[in-house]
Structure 1
C-alpha cells in the first residue's frame, strides 16, 4: 500500500518556472517521436518574416553532428533590452514561454498575419536542445548568443558585421533524451521546406544535407506548379480550378467576424484513379489534421457543385450525391490566411478558429459556382465522377443489405419449421 504523505500544505505545491515545464512534460508542447517539430518552429519564424515582406531566401542545413541550422534574410530578431524583463529581447524570446512579436495583431503590428498565437515556439526548441546558437545581423552589427539545456550559456555579444546584411541564424542540437529517435526524418523535412516555397511564390527555399546534393525550390506559379509535381504526369478529369480571395476594408462592409487581410488561395482537381492528396495550411503552417478552414473549404466546394447539379438537372433518378462522393477523387491544396489563429494543441496541426469555416466558404463557394457555369462541360465531368462514386456507394450498400437479409432468413437446423 502506498504511503500517505505526512504534510499537504503550501510547500507541497510546485510552481515550475522558465522552461522547466517543457523539460518536465515535453509531450504537452511538441511531438516527441523525433525532433522535426522543434526545427519547424525555427523555420516558421523565418517564413513569417518572408510573409511579412522581409527576405526572399531561407536556407535549412542538416549537419552530420545532428544539428540543424535555419538562416533567413529577415529583419533579425531584436536585440535591444526588453523594457519589462530587462534582458535582450532575443534572450527573452528563447527562454520565456509566451514571449514573441505575434501577440499584437493590429494592422500596424509587427506580424499582422503569422503562424500562430501560442507564443511558445523557439523557447520550446531551445528547452529541448542540448545547445542552441543564435546569430542576428541587424543595424550593421553581428550579435551572437548561446544556450545549453535551455539556459543561457553565452551572453549576448555584439560586434561590427563584416558584410552588410540582415537576418537570423538559429542552430539547434536536439537533445536525444526527449525523443524516441534523435534523427530528423529527411523526407518529412524536405516536404515541409518545399511546401513553404509553393505557398509563397517567389520565395527561395534551400535544403542542405551534409554529404548530399543541395535542393532548391522556387515556384513562381505556386500551387499550380506544385500540382504538376504531385500528379507525376497523371491527367485531371477537368482543368485545375485555382483561385484566391482576400478581404480588404471595402469588401468587408456589412460583414462581421472577418478581418482585413484574411482569405485564402487554393487549387483543386479531380483524378479518375491513383492516389489523392490533400494539403491544407494556415499562415503557411501545415495543418495535417485539417480544421475549421478545411471544413469551410469542403463545404463551399460541395455546395457550389450541388447547386450546379440541381440547376442543370444532372442527377439520375434515385441517386443522391453526398460530400464523400465528391471528395473521394479530389486532390487539393489550400492556404488560408487568418489574423487571430487558434489551434488544437501546441503543434498547430488542427485549426479551431471559429470564423474560419465561414470565411473559407465565402471565399470559395461563389468562385467555384461561377467557374462551373463558365465551364459547363468540364463541370459535367466532375459531376459524372461524383455520380460514379455515389452509385458505387449505393451498390455496395445494397450488397451489405442483402447479406444481412440472407443471414436473418436462415435459421439454425433444429429451429426450422416442419
Structure 2
C-alpha cells in the first residue's frame, strides 16, 4: 500500500509555486499601487486626461462627461479618435492595446513621430488601469469616416472590434469611452462631486476656448464651463480677499534657440497678493492637477522671491536687522500655475507632485525677469508688495525671539558636535541627523547656515524598542539627539512639553544603501517608541539621497549635464531619455555613490539639502492607527519576534530587493 503523502509535501515550495502576473493582473491584485482606491474618481480622471491631451494638442474643442442613471460614466471628446488599425508589431488593433497593456500609449515618443509633444505623464498605465478596475467598458472611436467599437469586461475583450462606416453626410470624429467602475476595488462607489466639478472646471481654465460639460442624468442638471480669459478669470472668481496690488499675470516658453530647455517648455501663471483671507493655490503640469505641488511651485516661489528681493535691494527698502526669506514673500500669494514640461517625473503613479528637478529653474527663469520688469515699471505697487513681505519677515523674527526667551532658562548644554543654525524660527529650522563624520562634514559645508543644523551620529544607533525610557540617556547618541531637538522622551499617552522644540523638521539623512536603511529604521524606531508626539505632529522626515550620478555629455545645443538618480528605476528612465535625445548609453558615465561621504558639499546641497530640489518624505502612519503600527514594528524590531519575522520573510521575501 502506497504511503499517504504528508501535508508538508503537498504544499511543497517548487518551480510551480512561482506565479507570474500577466497583462492587467497586477492592477487587480494591487490596485493601490496604480491608482487611488478611496473612490473611482481617479480612474475616470485618466479618461478625462486623454480627452484633454487631444485638446491641448489642438485637435479638440469639446469635452463632455455624463453621469448615467446606471452608475456608469461616459467621457466624449471631438479629437482625432484613437487609431484602430493593426499595430505593426503586436498583431492586435491599436485601440485594444491602449486599454489592455500597462505600458502602451501615444505619449512615449516625444518629438519624432509621437502623438503628443506635451502630455500628463510617462507611466503609460493610464486607461488600462481604468479598464482593469471596471466591470465593463465600451470604447467607440470616430475617425476616417468610420466608427470603431470595442467592449471590455473586467479588463478583457468581451466584444471584438467592429468597424462600420458612418451614415452618409455624418462627419463625426473623436472618442467616446463609457465606464462601469467595479465597486469591489473601491472603499466607496460614490463619486465626490466637489472634486469632479473642480477637475472639469480646471480643464476649462487651462484651455481657454475649450468647452467642458458635465451632465447628470439622475438630477437632469447640466453644467458647462468655458473661460475665454483663462487663469485671471478663474483666480478672480476664487479669491477670498481683495488683492493688495493688481494681479501679476504672465507666461514664458522656451523657443528653439534655448540651450537648456526644449521648445515649448515653460509656464503660464497668475498671482494675486492679498492682505487677509485664505490663499488660493492651484498648480498643474500639462493639465494634470498637482495637488501636492512640486518643483514647478518651488520655481514660482523662487522667481517671486528673487524678483521682490532685488527690487527691495535696488530701492534700499529693507530695515536694519531684518532678513527676508522666501516664505515672507510667498505667505500672502494666491496663484494658478500651469507648467509645460516635456518629460514630467511625478512622485507616485497618481501624479500628485511634480519631481522634475529642472522645473525649478524652468519656472523661476521665466517668472523672475517678468516680475522684476513689472515692479520697476510700477514702483508704487512694488513698494506696497515690499511692505507686505517686510511686515511678514518682522512678525516671523519677533515670534522666533519670543520662543527663545521662554525656553532660555535651565536648558541643557547643547552637544558639542551639533553645528547649529543661525535662525531661531522653529517653523523654518531643520536639523539633519547625519550618518558618519565625513558626511557630517559635507553637510556642514553645503547646508544653508541660516536655517539648517547638522548633528553627525557615530556608528549605529541602539535598537530602543525594548529599552526603558529612564535608561535611554545611558546612550550618548540618543542623549545628544534629545537635547539637540529640545524635547524629552515620552509615551503615546503623555502630554510632553513641545514648546522647547528647536526645529520644525527633524530629518534622518543616511546613505542610500542597506546600512543606511538600517540606520533609518533604528532612528524611526527611536522616534516612534520614545518621541511619538513628534511623529504625530509631522516633525519627523526622511531625506532621500541619490544612489547614482549620471554625467551626460554635451549634445546639439544642450550643454553637458550632471543628473542624479534615486534608484535603479530612475537610472533606467534617465538613460532612456538620453537615448531618445540621441546620446548613446555608453557615452553617459554612471557613478554609484558608496555613501554620503563621497559627495562634496555642493552635490549634497543640490541633491539632498536644497528645499527646492531635494526629496524629503514626511513620516506618517497612513492607514494604520497607533496600535496597528505598534504591532507591525514589534514584529520587526522586538527581541523575541524572530519567528514572526521569519514568517514575514517567507510571505513577502520575494517582494524585497536585496542590495549586496
- Secondary structure, aligned partner of 1:399: helix
Q: Which aligned pairs between 1:266-415 and structure 2 lie closer than 5 A?
A: 266-405=269-408
CA distance in 2, matches of 1:110, 1:202: 22
Give the TM-score normalised by the residue count of structure 1. Answer: 0.93
Moved more, 186-195 or 312-321: 312-321
Asked whether the equivalents of residues 100 and 131 of structure 2 are also in contact (C-alpha less than 8 Å), the reply is yes
Structure 1 residue 4, shift from structure 2 partner: 10
Moved more, 189-198 or 340-349: 340-349
CA distance in 1, matches of 2:102, 2:277: 45
Partner of 1:119: 124
Partner of 2:202: 195
Structure 1 residue 213, shift from structure 2 partner: 2.1
Structure showing greater Rg: 2
CA distance in 1, matches of 2:281, 2:228: 21
Asked whether the equivalents of residues 138 and 167 of structure 1 are also in contact (C-alpha less than 8 Å), the reply is yes
Q: Which residue, 95, 111, 124 being the options, matches 1:106?
A: 111
What 5-or-longer segments of structure 2 have no aligned partner?
A: 1-7, 413-660
What 5-or-longer segments of structure 1 have no aligned partner?
A: 410-418
- Secondary structure, aligned partner of 1:361: helix
CA-to-aligned-CA distance 1:26-83 (integer Å, 9 cap, x gap): 0000001111110000000000000111010100111232211110000000110111
For these two proteins, the number of residue pairs brought into alignment is 402
- Secondary structure, aligned partner of 2:407: helix
CA distance in 2, matches of 1:366, 1:5: 72
* 1:235 and 2:235 aligned: no
Asked whether the equivalents of residues 66 and 183 of structure 1 are also in contact (C-alpha less than 8 Å), the reply is no
CA distance in 2, matches of 1:89, 1:6: 42
- Secondary structure, aligned partner of 1:382: helix
Say if 1:212 and 1:385 are closer, same or farther in 2 by CA, change over 3 A: farther
Say if 1:310 and 1:23 are closer, same or farther in 2 by CA, change over 3 A: same
Asked whether the equivalents of residues 304 and 330 of structure 2 are also in contact (C-alpha less than 8 Å), the reply is no
- Secondary structure, aligned partner of 2:221: coil
Partner of 2:513: none
Structure 1 residue 12, shift from structure 2 partner: 2.8
Q: Which residue, 107, 123, 133 being the options, matches 1:128?
A: 133
Structure 1 residue 11, shift from structure 2 partner: 2.6
Structure 1 residue 394, shift from structure 2 partner: 1.7
Structure 1 residue 157, shift from structure 2 partner: 1.1
Asked whether the equivalents of residues 308 and 369 of structure 1 are also in contact (C-alpha less than 8 Å), the reply is yes
Say if 1:5 and 1:340 are closer, same or farther in 2 by CA, change over 3 A: farther
CA-to-aligned-CA distance 1:114-149 (integer Å, 9 cap, x gap): 111100000000001111111111111111111111
CA distance in 1, matches of 2:121, 2:248: 28
Say if 1:384 and 1:212 are closer, same or farther in 2 by CA, change over 3 A: farther
* 1:216 and 2:224 aligned: yes
Say if 1:396 and 1:42 are closer, same or farther in 2 by CA, change over 3 A: same
Partner of 2:84: 79
- Secondary structure, aligned partner of 2:346: coil
RMSD over aligned CA atoms reads 1.7
Partner of 2:616: none
Structure 1 residue 13, shift from structure 2 partner: 2.4
Give the TM-score normalised by the residue count of structure 2. Answer: 0.59
- Secondary structure, aligned partner of 1:334: strand
Structure 1 residue 6, shift from structure 2 partner: 6.0
Structure 1 residue 9, shift from structure 2 partner: 4.2
Structure 1 residue 339, shift from structure 2 partner: 1.1
Q: Which residue, 258, 263, 268 being the options, matches 1:260?
A: 263
Partner of 2:61: 56
Asked whether the equivalents of residues 43 and 70 of structure 1 are also in contact (C-alpha less than 8 Å), the reply is yes
Asked whether the equivalents of residues 237 and 271 of structure 1 are also in contact (C-alpha less than 8 Å), the reply is yes
